[in-house]
Structure 1
Amino acid sequence: MRDNDIASVFGFFTEIGIIAQLSQAMLAKALPDGVHPAHFAIVNHMVRLGDGCTPQQLASAHQVTKGTMTHSLGVLSRHGFVRIEPHPTDGRSKIVYLTDSGRAFREQAIGSVSAMFGQVLDDDHHALMRQAMRSLHEIRVLLDKNREPPKPPQG
Structure 2
Amino acid sequence: MPPKSKPAAADAGALYFQLFNEIGIIAQLSANRFQRVLPHDLTVAQFSLLNHCVRLGDGWGPARLAAAFQVTKGTMTSTLQRLEAKGFVRVDPDAEDARAKQVFLTRAGRAARDEALQALQPELAELPADFPPALLQDILPTLERLRIWLDTRR
- Normalised to the residue count of structure 2, the TM-score between the two structures is 0.88
For residue 33 of structure 1, report the CA deviation from its aligned partner.
Answer: 5.2
Q: Select the residue among 60, 66, 74 that pairs with 2:67.
A: 60
Structure 2 match to 1:30? 37
- Over the residues paired in the alignment, what is the CA RMSD in angstroms? 1.5
CA distance 1:81–1:49, shift in 2 (3 Å): same
Matched-pair identity in %: 42
Report if the CA contact (8 A) 1:53-1:96 is conserved.
Answer: yes
Aligned partner of 2:12 in structure 1 is 5
Say if 2:91 and 2:104, in contact at 8 Å, map to a contact too: yes
Name which of 124, 127, 147 aligns with 1:121: 127
Distance 1:63 1:126 in 2: 32
SS in 2 for 1:122: helix
| Aligned positions, number | 146
Asked if structure 2 preserves the Cα contact closer than 8 Å seen for 1:55 and 1:70, the reply is yes
**Residue 102 (structure 1) aligns with:** 109
* Unaligned stretches of 5+ residues in structure 1: 148-155
Structure 1 segments, 4+ long, off by >4 Å, are none
SS in 1 for 2:98: coil
Alignment of 1:42-81 (within 5 A): 42-81=49-88
Q: Residue type matched to 1:87 in 2?
A: D
- CA deviation after TM superposition for structure 1 residue 88, in Å: 1.1
Given candidates 33, 40, 47, the residue that maps to 1:40 is 47
**Distance between the aligned counterparts of 1:87 and 1:132, measured in 2?**
41
Distance 2:39 2:62 in 1: 23
Question: TM-score if structure 1 supplies the norm length?
Answer: 0.88
Instruction: Report the equivalent of 1:144.
Output: 151
User: Cα deviation per residue 1:35-55 (whole Å; 9 max; x = unaligned)?
Assistant: 210111111111111100110
For 1:69 and 1:7, the matched residues in 2 are separated by 34
> Would you say the 8 A contact 1:35–1:75 is kept in 2?
no
Partner of 1:151: none
Q: C-alpha separation between the residues in 1 aligned to 2:32 and 2:138?
A: 24
Change (3 A) 1:34 1:123: closer
Query: Letter of the aligned partner of 2:28 in structure 1?
Result: Q
